[in-house]
Amino acid sequence: MKKNTFIAISLAAVISLTPAFTTNVSADVNTDIQNQDKKINDIKSKKTDLQSDLSGLVADLEKAQEKAKSLQGDFDQTGKELKKLNEDIKSINERIKERETVLKDRARAMQKTSNSNAYLEVILEAENLSDLVGRVSAVNQLVESDKTILEDQQNDEKALKTKQTAVKKKQEEQATAIHEYETEQNKIEAQKAEKEAIVAQLASEQATAENEKAGLVNAAKAASERATALRAATSSNVGESNSSSSKKTSTTVEAASNDAAPTNVAPSSGGGYSSMMAAASAQLGKPYSLGASGPSAFDCSGFTSYAFRAAGVSLPRTSGGQYAAASKISASQAKPGDLVFFNYGSGIAHVGIYVGGGQMINAQNNGVKYDNITSGYWAKYLVGYGRVANF
């Protein structure tokens, strides 16, 4: 008790003897508060500007998605047009064959009676010279008419095939445009992630100023890492070293694909993999639609997200995001259940599920299918593999 009293008296004495010190400390604290308030206001101002930028990026992303959906609609319409042309070509070929059969039968009949006898019958049965000229003219016209009809049908077939080639080229151009807009979306997503990372960093600084730093620092770090990974996913040379050996000489636009499960594939074990693959294979044959995540239609990342969700695994929504989230592995390490990524030249723009045996199941322009990734179209753009779950 005496000791505490002594300390209190001593402190009072010190304070009473140093009023200037107390005033200076108070002034310093006020200055610090003012500086901190200014810092917080500056941070808030920067955050407001960045939020405005983010709103613009969201608007750009929505425009890109709408454009891509429009392109997808054009692609689907061209597919219907191509299907109709194929049917018309098949029909006209059947008519040509039928007409050729009639001509051959008529020629055989003429051979049996011999041409001279046939014309002799025409002459003998004619009632007069005028009738004879008419009969000969009719036979010649009939033969010439058959020949003209056959030539017209062949010309029609040629015209249809020319149009078929043009429509196929148009469809290839549309598929390329869809790929470009998918890549553009990933780029906007990366820019958006970079802005979000800066906003998160500013929020962390504001939280530090307001004594709420801990949670937001981790969020800022995670956002920064995600932005870095997404930025890497949009690089034109992403995975270049991993995929150079896979890019063979292939120029066809359509990958060899089918709806049947590949054979001689050693499946991964575990209920998670089985659940994921059951969900994936159940979607075979369903159509592709940009931005769709099932269950009636899918785009590439919507399909992988849907399948892995059945195994309790949540994936980012875009192919670039999934690439950023995946642990990169080599081709020799890849096993069924890993993701496989592709780069058309401007960053990650397609993803599928590796099922082993050099094949994947994926949602591509022609719908949900199995595709070979070791040769042909997909091998040309293969980047590498990523693991998002340990099945």
Active site residues: 300, 350, 362
According to DSSP, the residues that pair with 257 across neighbouring strands are: 371
Separation of alpha carbons 295 and 201, rounded Å: 38
Separation of alpha carbons 130 and 127, rounded Å: 8
The conformational region for residue 347 under phi > 0 = left, psi -120 to 50 = alpha, else beta, is left
Cβ atoms of 105 and 122 closer than 8 Å: no
Task: For strands 327-329 and 339-343, give the pairing.
Answer: unpaired
Separation of alpha carbons 352 and 371, rounded Å: 9
Cα 23-24-26 angle, rounded to 5 deg: 65
Cβ atoms of 372 and 323 closer than 8 Å: no
According to DSSP, the residues that pair with 369 across neighbouring strands are: 362
Cβ atoms of 290 and 183 closer than 8 Å: no
Q: Residue 305 is inside which H or E element, if any?
A: helix 300-309
Cα 40-43-44 angle, rounded to 5 deg: 85
